[in-house]
Structure 1
């Protein structure tokens, strides 16, 4: 069992009503997302698109640390009535947790059905989320020159155009693309680009033109 699974198992034990954690949110996408809330609540939350106005998520995106939901209304508005709806599904007590840099936030909500979390539990949960943030972050580092090579291909450039754009030889480009595929555990350039986007290493709407779409031709 890996480290992140150990951490999430412990969070589950401390949060019997479930938890939701989005690790390293970049370009509005988490690199890893885990939800253990009851299916009925998750479906209702998703159907109403509550995440756009969820005060527990908003607080976690804007603050470092942990805050009990019982005091959340003093800090954030709740125009969609997310917290009241959560209580109606038995998600009565909880914490909002936020850690990390603004460009790569990890936000976690943890719930208890019958009581507030103790101070000791709050400290442990905050530590667990911080550790999870660090562990997931270890896999996100890709050298800038590798990102540049992937981005050039993602823009639809041929290898010749990418070489001219980057000022490198075909051999150097091939080496960088191979290194990027290996680092991302990808079988080809297309999969490497997709994984880089999903990991927040490349933006799907970057100024360089990734919004024009992934390359449609065969990977070279």
Structure 2
């Protein structure tokens, strides 16, 4: 059983660094995550969903093909739909994408802030938190209903 207290503490840590919001997709199977935590501004997530940006998002594309971390600014040349520029109008001017994988399970995250690029130390901290969250939410036999409900409640409490 996952330690909900540790998960909550890690999520609170990343939210302190992701002052404009974050999205963490855990244990992606094909194209769907087993669990999603998202704190990006609702106005942005509505537009993102309405326009189907997930299909062309350079952050998502990178997260499916790579592991590690990359600043959003390094993905700008791959952003044909200007998603990153559009997200900046909602306070998500700078960000980092992180993808981790273990035991044939992949999780990816996007963290954002309005004021400056993330430092290497902050990226390292976010990467460690993402890896720990990935491991803490791993259920080798699938996530049981009780754990899923606890995590979904936690996710909704963190949503903005």
> Does TM, normalized by the shorter one, top 0.5?
yes
Q: In the TM superposition, what is the alpha-carbon distance from 1:79 to its structure 2 partner?
A: 2.2
2:72–2:94 CA contact under 8 A, matched in 1: yes
Question: Is the contact made by 1:92 and 1:114 (CA closer than 8 Å) also made in structure 2?
Answer: yes
Task: Give yes or no for contact 1:26–1:103 (8 Å, CA) kept in 2.
Answer: no
CA RMSD of aligned residues (A): 2.0
1:57 counterpart = 2:56: no
Q: Deviations over 1:25-54 (max 9, x none)?
A: 013211110000111111111111101110
User: Does 1:100 pair with 2:101?
Assistant: yes
Provide the secondary structure at the position in 1 that maps to 2:48.
Answer: helix
**Structure 2 counterpart of 1:162:** none
User: Retained in 2: the 8 A contact 1:16–1:111?
Assistant: yes
In the alignment, does 2:36 pair up with 1:33? yes
Contact 2:76 2:84 survives alignment (8 Å) = no
Question: Does 1 or 2 have the higher relative contact order (CA < 8 Å, sep 6+)?
Answer: 2
User: Normalized against structure 2, the TM-score is what?
Assistant: 0.83
Residue of structure 2 equivalent to 1:116:
117
User: 1:133-148 maps to which residues of 2 (within 5 A)?
Assistant: 133-137=134-138, 140-142=139-141
Describe the superposition over 1:122-177 as per-residue Cα deviations: whole angstroms up to 9, x where unpaired: 1000000000111111xx212xxxx9xxxxxxxxxxxxxxxxxxxxxxxxxxxxxx
SS at match of 1:20: strand
The number of aligned residues is: 144
The separation in 1 between residues aligned to 2:60 and 2:125, in whole angstroms, is 20
Shift of 1:89: 1.8
Does the C-alpha gap of structure 1 residues 103 and 18 become closer, same or farther in structure 2, counting only changes over 3 Å?
same
TM-score, with normalisation over the residues of structure 1?
0.61
Which structure is higher in strand share?
Answer: 2
Q: Which runs of 5+ in 1 are unaligned?
A: 148-182, 187-194, 196-220
43, 46, 51: which one pairs with 2:46?
A: 43
Cα gap change, 1:94/1:185 in structure 2, threshold over 3 Å: closer, same or farther? closer
Whichever of the two has the greater Rg, that structure is: 1
Structure-2 separation of matches of 1:17 and 1:185? 31
Return the match for 1:69 from 67, 72, 76. Answer: 72
Separation of aligned partners in 2, 1:115 and 1:80: 23
Q: Structure 2 stretches of 5 or more lacking a match?
A: 149-160
DSSP-derived class of the 2:92 partner: coil
Residue of structure 2 in register with 1:180 after alignment: none
Q: Tell me how far apart the structure 2 counterparts of residues 35 and 123 of structure 1 sit (CA, whole Å).
A: 20
SS of the aligned residue for 1:108 comes to strand
Out of 10, 16, 20, the position equivalent to 1:17 is 20
